[in-house]
Amino acid sequence: MSVLDLARPEIRAMQPYSSARMEASGGSILLNANESAWAPPGDPALDCNRYPDPQPRALVEALAALYGVRAGQVLVGRGSDEAIDLLVRAFCRAGEDAIAIQPPTFGMYAVCAHVQNAGIVEVPLAADFLLDVDAVLAALTPAVKLVFVCTPNNPSGRLVSAAQVERLAQALAGRALLVVDEAYIEFADAASAAPLIDRYENLVVLRTLSKAWALAGARIGTLLASEAVVGLLRRILAPYPLPRPCVALALEALSPEGQRVARGHLATVREQRERMRAALAALPGVREVLPSQANFLAVRFEDAGAAYRCLFEAGVVVRDVRRYAGLGDALRITIGSVEENDRVLAVLDGASTEGRAVAEGTVSGGTA
């Protein structure tokens, strides 16, 4: 059985759109795409009056080298969000098929499923936010075509082990695709699942330049999968998903100097993550700082709403994750620069000091 047998038959059979750049990329006089002959104001070297290559070779090869796969196993798009949407649209028939997720987790899996009118099978993480492979496999129905696993998980920060990923890939062969979202893997003490792609045709790995590579504003996401899956998704990919300026920024970030800078930032984040974990855990009003292998910490508070308001009023915006299962008392705090982290600690420490003073004053006034 081919992994493509899991895809929607109408997607497999469709004739993809053929863009002008796909049909002819050579030549010095380009009159096949109804473009402007004049470059726009600004930097004409980017040739933004011309449509970009749908999958720029230099960027695809740089990403393949970075992630340790072949160029044919790479599909580049507008962040991981686009890859998630493409997978759901290609493999889930509206009103018939489903995805499986383990809440609390990244919300876009469910959003894309809802847009496609696909079902959602939820298998909650354990109380310690670890993945239960047996529970996932037991909950699956024949309708499930995609199983999303986020590692490190967002918003909890916990890893899924390589052994668990491989066990799922084996168990799902011929049944569903396993989609491993590694948006935060660079911050973790763990290896990517990408080397397993050659062994498991049903394995898909998602990577991004938004986090560790500091290109959230450029929207460069990468899907790693078998050539068959990549070829299928290219059928429904937008004709020109990658703006030329974004490609240029990505290539600069992936240059030797760019990689050196990124490695320095990663080391700082890891150091600051440990520092913030210890400092936050010592603050009054903090119940727990969850273990994290990402660039954020999920923090349980005695009063998360008050902590959020205190930070917001001081100009510090963190993520309120109280709506997520099992995190009704938590905020997610990104690891920032040293100065930004200092500010978070100072604000929360000041709030707890003020709270203690008010409480003590109330007690004194009541007994006088």
Domains plus CATH for the chain? 3-13+42-254 (3.40.640.10), 259-360 (3.90.1150.10)
Torsion of CA 173, 178, 182, 183, to 10 degrees: 150
pLDDT for the residue numbered 360: 55
Banded model confidence at residue 157, pLDDT cuts 50, 70, 90: very high
d(CA 123, CA 150): 13
pLDDT at 22 over 90: no
The set of residues, in sequence order, having a beta carbon less than 8 Å from that of 184 and lying 6+ positions away, is 152, 154, 157, 211, 212, 293, 294, 295
pTM given for the model? 0.93
Average of per-residue pLDDT across 93-112: 98
Per DSSP, helices labelled H in the chain are 9-13, 20-23, 57-67, 79-91, 108-115, 133-139, 162-172, 227-234, 244-253, 256-281, 304-313, 338-367
pLDDT for the residue numbered 356: 55
Question: Model confidence over 281-302: pLDDT tens digits?
Answer: 999 999 999 999 999 999 999 9
Question: Model confidence over 326-365: pLDDT tens digits?
Answer: 999 999 999 999 999 999 999 999 876 665 555 556 544 4
Question: Model confidence over 24-44: pLDDT tens digits?
Answer: 666 788 899 999 999 999 877
Backbone angles phi, psi at 163, to 5 degrees: -65, -40
Token pair in block for residue 196: 């397993």
Per DSSP, helices labelled H in 38-179 are 57-67, 79-91, 108-115, 133-139, 162-172
Query: DSSP characters for 195-225?
Result: GGGGT-TTEEEEEESSSTTS-TTT--EEEE-
Question: Model confidence over 252-276: pLDDT tens digits?
Answer: 999 999 999 999 999 999 999 999 9
Do β-strands 203-208 and 177-181 pair in parallel, antiparallel, or remain unpaired?
A: parallel
